[in-house]
Amino acid sequence: MDIVKRIIPQQTEDITVHWARRTLVSIIIASILTIGCESWIIINERYTSSQLADGLAINQVTQDSYDMVYSNLRVEVTYHSVFLGSLVFWLGVTWDALLHQNLMQIISVNLYNVGLLVYASIQIAQTKTDTDLASPYLPPNLSDNSSSGLFLAAQIVLPVIIGLFIPIFAFLSYKLHFEFGWRQYRITGGDLELRRVFFRYDILLLLLKFSIFFVVAFTVLDLVLTAVTSNGLIVIPILGAIVGLMVTMAGYYGARRENRLYIVIYIAGCLVVIAYLVDRVYDAFHRQAKADDFSRVEIPFMLYASISFCLVLASVFFGVVCWLNFGKGLRDVLDQEAKKKSGTEFEAEVIDLEN
């Protein structure tokens, strides 16, 4: 039962979760359908890649044709893998917002939905362009593989599902506003200054989560689609995981516990991440090798780099803002809420009857 309480929104004395649970069911259904479509697209392209390797083994495909098509498929699969990750993140960030009744995070998911729709729509044209480019190099028995019914249907159904879900989620967000809005009012006691402090704290947590995703996605694109040394392929993921975990924990606990040392570590870590982003972009554009390959990934590479840069920079700003808000009551009201949820808010006073 404890596990169920941790993964399903629970009703308290004065906060209902009717719409939160309906939203959870809706996002799970939408995520299963969209992840299924995107997974099928990736599986189909991986199958084409394996068949291409078989053709090379029996001299049905030349080495030049194999290199060209394989490079093309590698770029495609990387795009789709990052998008698949974005769908998993979509489910996770929405679920997290429902569990913690974070209205600001719910609002941000509405904007994220639009981004998913745009990307899913562009993916259709992008996949067709890449397929047309590779088709002349494929053996006759594989030429129409990427145009098969299920493969094409998965590409079309994906944006349709997201497009239908956008107004549904917007309606659910409107309903959640009343359920979650009462929580903020209750724990802040209606104090306007404390509500502003709480609002900025929620924004920092929101930026933390989205920054993690976009920086990780940028790193994947950087390692797979640009020229990176063999040492870089090892060092960057290891250091990235260490720094990312350290910065995230320092940011959360620094703001939650109003710990100045943690916030300083968080801000310093964010500046390191910004320096990393700038260095990788500079290195990519001044690298002479694989210039033709990089030109194909330049737009998504810069898109993720720019979004990551803006999110991390905004995280630094709100980290400072939360630092300045220390001592204004946020920690106290969050501690009180935690005690209420755990049932330890009111402890019986021990009375010594002998004295």
Quick one: average pLDDT of 76-103?
A: 90
Q: Are 158 and 87 in contact (CB under 8 A)?
A: no
Token code pair at residue 17: 């979760």
Q: Any residues with CB less than 8 A from the CB of 127 and at least 6 apart, and which?
A: 41, 76, 146, 155
Residue (of 237, 293, 280) closest to 78 by Cα position: 293
pLDDT at 350 over 50: no
Higher pLDDT, 343 or 200: 200
Three-state DSSP at 12 gives coil
pLDDT at 166: 96
Among 84-88, 299-303, 344-348, the range with the most confident prediction by mean pLDDT is 84-88
Name residue 210's amino acid. F
- Average model confidence (pLDDT) for the chain? 82
Rounded to whole angstroms, the Cα distance separating 126 from 162 reads 18
pLDDT at 349: 44
Among 101-105, 132-136, 158-162, the range with the most confident prediction by mean pLDDT is 158-162
Residue 345 binned pLDDT confidence (cut-offs 50, 70, 90): low
Backbone conformation region of residue 218, classed left if phi is above 0, alpha if psi is from -120 to 50, else beta = alpha
Higher pLDDT, 315 or 241: 315
Q: How crowded is residue 188: how many other Cβ atoms within 10 Å of its Cβ?
A: 19
Lowest mean pLDDT among 169-183, 254-268, 313-327, 338-352: 338-352
pLDDT at 36: 94
Rounded to whole angstroms, the Cα distance separating 336 from 68 reads 61
Among 131-145, 226-240, 279-293, 341-355, the range with the most confident prediction by mean pLDDT is 226-240
pLDDT at 346 over 50: no
Lowest mean pLDDT among 44-48, 197-201, 266-270, 273-277: 44-48
Higher pLDDT, 212 or 78: 212
Q: Are 80 and 28 in contact (CB under 8 A)?
A: no
Q: Are 178 and 103 in contact (CB under 8 A)?
A: no
Q: What is the pLDDT of residues 275-296, one digit of tens each?
A: 999 988 888 877 644 445 566 6
Residue 267 binned pLDDT confidence (cut-offs 50, 70, 90): very high
pLDDT at 230: 75
Three-state DSSP at 350 gives coil
Q: Are 79 and 225 in contact (CB under 8 A)?
A: no
Rounded to whole angstroms, the Cα distance separating 297 from 75 reads 8
pLDDT at 288: 45
Quick one: average pLDDT of 310-323?
A: 95
Q: For 212-250, b where at least 16 C-beta lie within 10 A, e where not — what string?
A: bbbbbbbbbbbbbbbebeeeeeeebeeebeebbeebbeb
Rounded to whole angstroms, the Cα distance separating 285 from 291 reads 9
Rounded to whole angstroms, the Cα distance separating 124 from 146 reads 12
Residue 348 binned pLDDT confidence (cut-offs 50, 70, 90): very low
Q: What percent of the chain has pLDDT over 70?
A: 78
Q: Give the residue carrying structure tokens 């997201």.
A: 162
Q: What is the pLDDT of residues 209-226, one digit of tens each?
A: 999 999 999 998 888 877
SS3 content of the chain, % helix, strand, coil (to 5): 85, 0, 15
pLDDT at 39: 92
Name residue 72's amino acid. N
Q: Structure pTM?
A: 0.85
DSSP code, position 348: P
Q: What is the pLDDT of residues 136-190, one digit of tens each?
A: 666 665 554 555 677 788 889 999 999 999 999 999 999 988 888 777 777 777 7
Higher pLDDT, 231 or 276: 276
Q: What is the pLDDT of residues 22-73, one digit of tens each?
A: 999 999 999 999 999 999 888 887 777 776 666 655 656 666 666 666 777 7
Quick one: average pLDDT of 309-321?
A: 95
